Every structure is written in C-alpha cells, then in structure tokens.
Copies of this chain bind each other. A is one copy, B any other.
C-alpha cells in the first residue's frame, strides 16, 4: 500500500492559501498544495522554516498581520500548529486581523470541544471556521493526506479544490463528515482506533518474539502477513519496514509517548457510556510503559509479604 500511482494534483479552481505554521506537517502540506497549482503564503516565527518554504516556490511572511495583508479577501488561512495553547494564542492574534467572509481551517489535532468554542468565537465576526482532522503523517506529502472535515456545507464546498489536492485521490480520503467540530471528533476516534490496532500488533509480535523454541523471523512474518492475511494493513506495512531496519529493535527504549487524542477518546467513550475497553487499555499501556518505578507494583509486593511472608525483591 506504500506507493499509489503518482497523480496530477491540479484541481479545477486554484486558490490562495495562507499557511500558518511551517513545521514538518505545515511545510509538507504547503508543498503539496503548490504541486496542485495553488498559491501559498507561509508564516512561521522561525526564519529557517520560512526560507525553506521559499526555496520551494512559496512566499512567506514573518508576522500574522503581514500574512493577512498578503492575501486577497476573502482569505483562506490554514492553521497547522501544535494543539492546545499555541492554537489558542494564534487564533486570538488572528481574530482581530480578519474580516467577515474570511475562512480559517484548523488542520491540527485540536480537541473538538475547543474547536466548538473557537468556532463560536469566529462566527461572532462572520468568519467561517472549518476543522480538518488530518492523518497521514510524514507520508502525506507523497501519498496524500486523509482529511476529516467539519464545517458548514457551503464553506467546505468553496474549499473543495484544496482538499482535492491534499487528499490521496480527488474524491478519496477526504470528506465533510458533519458540522464544525465533527472533523476533529472523527480524527480523535481515528487515533483511538490507531492506539488499539498498534497495541494488538505489538502484543502479537511480542508473543512471537518470546517463543524462543521456534526462532521466528519477525520481519519475514510481517512481510508474509502483508499479502492475503486478514490483518494486512498500512500499519503492518510500516511494522515490516521497522523490523527490516532493526529486527531486534536494538537500542529502542520500551517507552511509548501518547498525545492528547487517545485520552480524549477515552473521556468521550465514558461520557457517552460506550464501553471501549481495548482503546482504553491501549492508552493505559502507554502510561505503563513510562512508569518505571511503579508504586502500585511495590505495594503489591509489600502486601504479598505481609500476608504470606513472600520475599520482597529489593531494588
């Protein structure tokens, strides 16, 4: 599944887009937009990020006011900054600079409840607010981004040629999923599922790895499973790659980071009374991977000693 046919990215209507945030994701998306014939003006506080974008044919500005000035009204601004406080401070700075009729797209991993709040704020000034949950990571530049879009139907329609360019196919891999907020919501659940799938693979390979008597070649097995098996997937393709590069996973710490979206999915499931034990447990396993001095485990050992006289392992 790695290599979809290279395709012509130019889509009907060419647009002018202000890209706010030129990190890996923002810079790649800007580049793919330009490949599709759109004009991009980028903004980032980091001068190097700006100049790198310019080498690829875009303009850039070093301040939000300058960016806004560089775009003809009605403007389209795509926000690609880390979720949370930076998103809020950027949007707060942006709001007074924009006019009725402009459009802001938050392409980051924002919490959908934040999105709902922000959209109300922008609606007060008749500025359209669209949320775009974006998946695809570092592969998006070449393969296209999966985009779950929330917002007003007419607004999303106006932006169609942008999504068609960024997506893996003209009408594949992106869709308006509902009103504003729903894009980030669906992306949040996407990541919850991702946690569960990753954990399922990780456990399976760990069992294979521990079955010493069969001396299994994990890379070969991952490769085998990529064709015809029920569990073939893009994550399995990547797993095969990882195991090819480093069959024993040498030097990698057993330490797994989580971002907000797994947590939000767990919160949401509980709030909706939906049992989501596997997604939840996948998150807990990540916490567990970073808990190298578990108080709970120490207490269990102490309790066993208390009632049964079982010896305590010393640190």
The interface of chain A, by Cβ under 8 A from chain B, is: 1, 24, 135-140, 143-148, 150, 167-169, 172-175, 177-179, 181-182, 185-186, 189-211, 214-217, 220-221, 223-236, 238-239, 241-242, 246, 249, 251-257, 263, 265-270, 272-310, 312-315
Decide if A215 touches B287 in the complex (CB within 8 Å).
Answer: no
Nearest Cβ in chain B — how far from A216, in angstroms? Answer: 6
A contact face: mostly helix, strand, loop, or mixed: helix
Decide if B303 touches A198 in the complex (CB within 8 Å).
Answer: yes
Partner of A295, one of B209, B242, B269, B308: B209
Decide if A173 touches B226 in the complex (CB within 8 Å).
Answer: yes
Decide if A135 touches B199 in the complex (CB within 8 Å).
Answer: no
A182-B216, A300-B198 given; A282·B278 CB < 8 A: yes
Nearest Cβ in chain B — how far from A129, in angstroms? Answer: 15
The chain B residue sitting closest to A186, CB to CB, is B221
Other than the known A202-B303, A203-B296, A251-B315, what 10 A-B pairs have Cβ atoms closer than 8 Å? A139-B307, A143-B228, A174-B224, A177-B221, A190-B231, A202-B297, A207-B269, A231-B234, A233-B233, A280-B284
Partner of A227, one of B169, B177, B249: B169
Nearest Cβ in chain B — how far from A89, in angstroms? Answer: 23
Decide if A275 touches B291 in the complex (CB within 8 Å).
Answer: yes
Which residues of chain B are within 8 angstroms of A282 by Cβ–Cβ distance? Answer: 200, 278
Which residues of chain B are within 8 angstroms of A309 by Cβ–Cβ distance? Answer: 24, 137-138
Decide if A178 touches B215 in the complex (CB within 8 Å).
Answer: yes
Nearest Cβ in chain B — how far from A2, in angstroms? Answer: 11
Decide if B182 touches A193 in the complex (CB within 8 Å).
Answer: no
The chain B residue sitting closest to A175, CB to CB, is B224
Decide if B301 touches A253 in the complex (CB within 8 Å).
Answer: yes
Which residues of chain B are within 8 angstroms of A307 by Cβ–Cβ distance? Answer: 137-139, 230, 234-235, 238
